[in-house]
Amino acid sequence: MIIANIIALIVVAIGCINWGLVGIAGWNLVTAIFGATVGATIVYILVLISIIWLLIDLFLERGRISFRRD
């Protein structure tokens, strides 16, 4: 699960940067890269799945996200 957490965090960070750019500059990075195609939709779905994964993991780990083995 450690690798999944790291990947999910990276994907969520990309989503946050994208929406930050949309809010600040009105520029959508994902649309600029993929256009208004299925690729952009897949990126948004991956961001959704990633945040759901992190929230479930956070709940199961009682408030801790682990990036290393204890």
Any domain includes 67 = no
Any domain includes 6 = yes
Q: Structural domain of residue 14, as residue ranges?
A: 2-60
Any domain includes 42 = yes
The model's pLDDT over 19-54, given as tens digits with 9 standing for 90+, comes to 999 999 999 999 999 988 999 999 999 999 999 998
Report the domain count for the chain: 1
pLDDT for res 66: 63
pLDDT for res 65: 64
User: Of the candidates 36, 18, 40, 38, which has an alpha carbon nearest to the alpha carbon of residue 27?
Assistant: 18
17 contact partners, CB below 8 Å, separation of at least 6: 29
Is residue 11 within 8 Å of residue 42, measured between CB atoms? no
For the residues of 16-31, what is the DSSP string, one character each? HHHHHHHHHHS--HHH
Any domain includes 70 = no
**How would residue 58 be classed by pLDDT, with cut points 50, 70 and 90?**
confident
